[in-house]
Structure 1
Amino acid sequence: MLGVTLRAVGEFKYRMSYRQCPAKYGVDLKMKQFEWLAIFCALSLAAMGNAHKPNIVYVLCDDLGCGEVGYNGQEMIQTPQLDALAAKGMRFTAHYCGSSVCAPSRGSLMTGKHPGHGYIRANSPGYPNGQTPIPADSETLGKLMQRAGYKTACIGKWGLGGEKPDGTLNYGFPTKQGFDYFFGYADQRRAHNYYPAFLWRNEEKVQLGGKVYSHDLMTEEALKFVSENKTRPFFLYLAYTIPHTKYQVPDLGQYADKDWPEKMKIHAAMTSRMDRDVGRLMQQLEKLKLSENTLVIFNSDNGAHGEQGSEKFFNTSGELRGIKRSMYEGGVRSPMFAYWPGTIRAGTVSDHMSAFWDMLSTFSELTGEPVRGDTDGISMLPSLLGRPQPQKHDYLYWELYERVPNQGVRMGKWKGVVVDRRKGQKIELYDLTADEGEQKDLANEYPEVVERIRQAMNDSHEPSPLWDKSFPDRMFNVDAARNASGIANEKQVFAKVPSDWKWVSRDGTVSHSSLSAEWGVPHNHTLLTTMEGKQSFHTDAEKAPWVIIDLKQAQPVVGLEILNRPDGHAGRTRNLHVWISTDGKNWQQVFKTDKAERQWLVDLHQPKQARYVKIGLVNSEPEYFHLKGVKVFAEKH
């Protein structure tokens, strides 16, 4: 009965949206009919009350490619729970992520704005902790659902700001952005580790000591939240971190005996673990008799990460081109499905062109609570209900400032991609109807389409102070981000090296505890000489990663200048220690700090004989390690 009621209300709301602009849709209605429908619809919604408002569960995975699930053709990784739900619900073949990386995609989902209007347009964080926070006055899904009378929870990875360097919280924190309850990671960088030192519960840290698998805790928290709020409408935003690296899982399960590389076993086991736990959540809804009154949406924040060769091993993008950070379909197309027994018809497929920024408008129409402020979204509730979609996007737009600034537009069957905006606005053009894999560039054959897409790109982009065009080599304006993070007046003034110090490490050699397979190509000449660029090496995630400089002979070492990674990206070095040795075996610690400075000037005060200098991290949890440059100084004679 409840499903029938909701379908009826949904249809009345659909009719209302269709009749709001009769001239636009070519419908000639008498005002009396319009008024009668408005009154009837309002009374229907009022009669429902909070008790009958549908619950919403939005499950967001992290870096899950379209090709990593069985319902899209994956055969090696087993996802039986997701496959069953997709078969019982509606799959969307033209739904798109908010961006091709985590933070801007989540920002788009929360605020209803595409990347050309969004506040967060890359993963670059506010220095030194976490992402630059979304503004305090942002309209968010959480705030809208709170106003609609829902109990709201964000469980998992937030990644839209909140932590300040002094440990206090700012306006970006989820409990300040419309969520009654939060459990998980506020800072995206910390979310790279599945065995964290702590997680947040609301505004308090839950100490875990690096011994508990965070994904399992998220599932338990989600089950508990649903159970505790079974008698009132709730909105659960379950932002799982799987299958984002690091590659960590308690057990390999069904993949333990596979003749695969170890990392691929872990990747598959992580994904199947997430699948299992989505199934557990659905069982909880069934047990509590909430299924028919709960809309479940499953999605991923962007394309597959492709690390350790997983892109080719599992074909994580399926037939699509590109992965995470790419504007090709594999970077921005999502594996979305919606499940709502009795309301969404089982086994249906929608090709409605939609994106993350449509969710705010969709939830607004579903709950009857209006959006406050501007949005780029269009409600896709009619499509969810299996009705014609009266309003459609002329096009979808993306831009990203990471590694290289790029742009993308989906316009009907056409897809336009700018691979590197710094080299001009050269647009590649693809016909997705005939060439879903984006292999044949048709730009020269359809110049008029290219110009329409160029105009759409230009019209959709609003300048952002965080990505100042006067810094084309940096793309990310760190100073503006620091201001937005509440560190407005903190100046970065580097200490001067004393004039009586002699630089002795220029001709040294360097060894590392490890080098990351993706990021670890060493540039030791950069580390020891020019001190230019973003980083000179990149280790794997370890509990105690290090780099050792061999000065070739013992020197009277008096100090070091160490430059941290400068670009504001996740993983800026902290918990730094320095040791010296004459033989490379017996080490003496001479410096330590837990601060993430941009420069450390280490003064030993008295010369100490040393041939080897070791710089490393001492952490309670595995960390990546990278620096911009190091200079070792000896006493001048």
Structure 2
Amino acid sequence: GEDGYGNLDPKRKRRAIPGLEKYHKTDTFLSEAITLEAKEAITQSMKKDKPFFLYMSHYAVHSPFQTDRRFEENYKDSTRSRPSKSFATLIEGIDKSLGDLMDHVTDKGVAENTLILFVGDNGSDAPLGDNYGYYSSAPLRGKKGTCYEGGLRVPFIASWAQRGDQNKFPIARNHLHTKQIGTVMDIYSTILDASGAKNPQEHVIDGVSLRKQLSGKVNQNRLDHFMCHFPHSHRSSYFTSYRRGNWKLIYRYLTEGGKRKSKNPLPQHELYNLKNDPYETKNMALENRPKVNEMIELMNSQLKDEDALFLVRDDKFLKPALLK
């Protein structure tokens, strides 16, 4: 808070955080400031006897990695790099924030009726020693911004703030669900299901409630496919990845890597069996062309159904092409 979360530093003004003026020029770290504001928002909802939905999006663990001094002492003897130690303090800050919020809803008497969904927004980008760089999501391949599982898979934990009779439905305890995928698109449907709220008639729903999976069961009505369409420039520039069952296809629109030129051309098609090769070490595209082309047709069908945007080169749309 000393520099007003960027507001008091002209060089950082463009990315400054608004609405926290009362913490400016204090030693209140950002994670703590937004936690205090979140607690107050819950309190105000309770005073009005209204249910609340709290979307808590932390800035911590995103670069630049600043040290949360509340926990700095815990790592004074560590031989890790300075960014790694700063990152560790940020993790502790998020952990404390969640604990403080859980304590708050408990104190307000609504813990049994409060569903907590803890989720990452993208693959890891953590500065963790030997894993720093392309394998910071080890053992998965890739990291934030890539087309591989290390860039697409994220942590997801669901729990009632407190177990009890007021829980709307059971959530399996100490259960790791590995038999089906879930996506961020399912969160909206899950919240509707848990709260009993109705979806506006004109609003299209892309996801499916995770309620059955949270209970530890398999949802037989759930589709087994997932598509990530990214026709933009970043680490894995201009790609679409499509998963169906155990198979995953990656299609690159620019094999030279777009703005980030590659020394060697990248394969336009990559095919992996995630059951047998979860770390995506063996590209099976050339040895299984029928599967590649089957997946390309399914990919194109979904892209068409969803009116997807495409990269344009020489006044032409670039769309996934069959492997010849």
TM-score range (shorter-chain normalised) is: 0.7 to 0.9
The 8 Å contact of residues 199 and 206 in structure 1, kept in 2 or not, is answered as: no
Residue number in structure 2 paired with 1:446? 288
The 8 Å contact of residues 324 and 330 in structure 1, kept in 2 or not, is answered as: yes
How far apart in 2 are the matches of 1:392 and 1:415?
Answer: 18
State which of 266, 290, 293 in structure 1 corresponds to 2:110: 290
How far apart in 2 are the matches of 1:460 and 1:314?
Answer: 30
State which of 309, 312, 318 in structure 2 corresponds to 1:469: 312
Residue number in structure 1 paired with 2:33? 217
State which of 240, 250, 273 in structure 2 corresponds to 1:431: 273
1:385 aligns with 2:211: no
How far apart in 1 are the matches of 2:25 and 2:93?
Answer: 22
CA displacement at 1:262 relative to structure 2: 1.1
The 1:439–1:327 alpha-carbon spacing in structure 2 relative to 1, beyond 3 Å, is same
1:370 aligns with 2:190: no
Provide, for residues 572-628 of structure 1, a one-character-per-residue CA deviation record: whole Å limited to 9, x for no partner: xxxxxxxxxxxxxxxxxxxxxxxxxxxxxxxxxxxxxxxxxxxxxxxxxxxxxxxxx
Residue number in structure 2 paired with 1:199? 18
1:345 aligns with 2:175: no
Provide, for residues 334-367 of structure 1, a one-character-per-residue CA deviation record: whole Å limited to 9, x for no partner: 1101012242121112222111111222223332
CA displacement at 1:425 relative to structure 2: 8.1
Letter matched to residue 305 of structure 1: D
Letter matched to residue 278 of structure 1: L
Letter matched to residue 402 of structure 1: S
Residue number in structure 1 paired with 2:233? 402
Letter matched to residue 233 of structure 2: E
The aligned runs of 1:227-626 (5 Å cut-off) are 227-230=43-46, 231-251=49-69, 252-306=72-126, 311-312=131-132, 316-340=136-160, 341-342=163-164, 343-351=170-178, 352-366=180-194, 367-371=196-200, 372-400=202-230, 401-403=232-234, 404-418=237-251, 420-423=252-255, 426-462=268-304, 469-470=312-313
Provide, for residues 452-511 of structure 1, a one-character-per-residue CA deviation record: whole Å limited to 9, x for no partner: 22123212325566x651479xx9xxxxxxxxxxxxxxxxxxxxxxxxxxxxxxxxxxxx
The 1:198–1:408 alpha-carbon spacing in structure 2 relative to 1, beyond 3 Å, is closer
Residue number in structure 2 paired with 1:21? none
TM-score by length of 2: 0.75
The 8 Å contact of residues 353 and 393 in structure 1, kept in 2 or not, is answered as: no
The 1:471–1:218 alpha-carbon spacing in structure 2 relative to 1, beyond 3 Å, is farther
Residue number in structure 2 paired with 1:103? none
The 1:244–1:198 alpha-carbon spacing in structure 2 relative to 1, beyond 3 Å, is closer
How far apart in 2 are the matches of 1:349 and 1:435?
Answer: 20
Q: What is the DSSP-based 3-state SS (H/G/I as helix, E as strand, rest coil) of the residue aligned with 1:461?
A: helix
Letter matched to residue 19 of structure 2: W
How far apart in 1 are the matches of 2:130 and 2:42?
Answer: 34
Q: Sequence identity of aligned pairs in percent?
A: 24
Q: What is the DSSP-based 3-state SS (H/G/I as helix, E as strand, rest coil) of the residue aligned with 1:408?
A: strand
The 1:281–1:238 alpha-carbon spacing in structure 2 relative to 1, beyond 3 Å, is same
CA displacement at 1:435 relative to structure 2: 1.5
TM superposition outliers: structure 1 runs of 4+ over 6 Å: none
How far apart in 2 are the matches of 1:293 and 1:471?
Answer: 56
The 8 Å contact of residues 298 and 337 in structure 1, kept in 2 or not, is answered as: yes
How far apart in 2 are the matches of 1:435 and 1:339?
Answer: 31
How far apart in 1 are the matches of 2:42 and 2:88?
Answer: 28
Provide, for residues 192-212 of structure 1, a one-character-per-residue CA deviation record: whole Å limited to 9, x for no partner: x79x754237xxx77836975
Q: What is the DSSP-based 3-state SS (H/G/I as helix, E as strand, rest coil) of the residue aligned with 1:297?
A: strand
Residue number in structure 1 paired with 2:259? none
The 8 Å contact of residues 394 and 412 in structure 1, kept in 2 or not, is answered as: yes
Q: Which has the larger radius of gyration?
A: 1
What root-mean-square deviation, in Å, do the aligned CA atoms of Structure 1 and Structure 2 show? 3.4
Q: What is the DSSP-based 3-state SS (H/G/I as helix, E as strand, rest coil) of the residue aligned with 1:225?
A: helix
CA displacement at 1:415 relative to structure 2: 1.8
The 8 Å contact of residues 398 and 407 in structure 1, kept in 2 or not, is answered as: yes
The 1:197–1:398 alpha-carbon spacing in structure 2 relative to 1, beyond 3 Å, is closer
How far apart in 2 are the matches of 1:272 and 1:353?
Answer: 28
How far apart in 1 are the matches of 2:233 and 2:282?
Answer: 25
How far apart in 2 are the matches of 1:447 and 1:289?
Answer: 58
How far apart in 2 are the matches of 1:321 and 1:275?
Answer: 26
The 8 Å contact of residues 238 and 254 in structure 2, kept in 1 or not, is answered as: yes
Unaligned runs of 5+ in 1: 1-183, 476-637
How far apart in 1 are the matches of 2:171 and 2:123?
Answer: 26
The 1:379–1:299 alpha-carbon spacing in structure 2 relative to 1, beyond 3 Å, is same
Q: What is the DSSP-based 3-state SS (H/G/I as helix, E as strand, rest coil) of the residue aligned with 1:374?
A: coil
Unaligned runs of 5+ in 2: 165-169, 256-265, 319-324
How far apart in 1 are the matches of 2:134 and 2:26?
Answer: 30
CA displacement at 1:369 relative to structure 2: 0.6
Q: If each structure's strand is expressed as a fraction of its own residues, which one has the higher value? A: 1
How far apart in 2 are the matches of 1:250 and 1:387?
Answer: 40
How far apart in 2 are the matches of 1:451 and 1:468?
Answer: 21
How far apart in 2 are the matches of 1:469 and 1:393?
Answer: 31
Q: Which has the higher contact order (CA 8 A, sep 6+)?
A: 1
The 1:380–1:471 alpha-carbon spacing in structure 2 relative to 1, beyond 3 Å, is farther
CA displacement at 1:388 relative to structure 2: 4.0
Residue number in structure 2 paired with 1:591? none
The 1:397–1:197 alpha-carbon spacing in structure 2 relative to 1, beyond 3 Å, is closer
Q: What is the DSSP-based 3-state SS (H/G/I as helix, E as strand, rest coil) of the residue aligned with 2:132?
A: helix
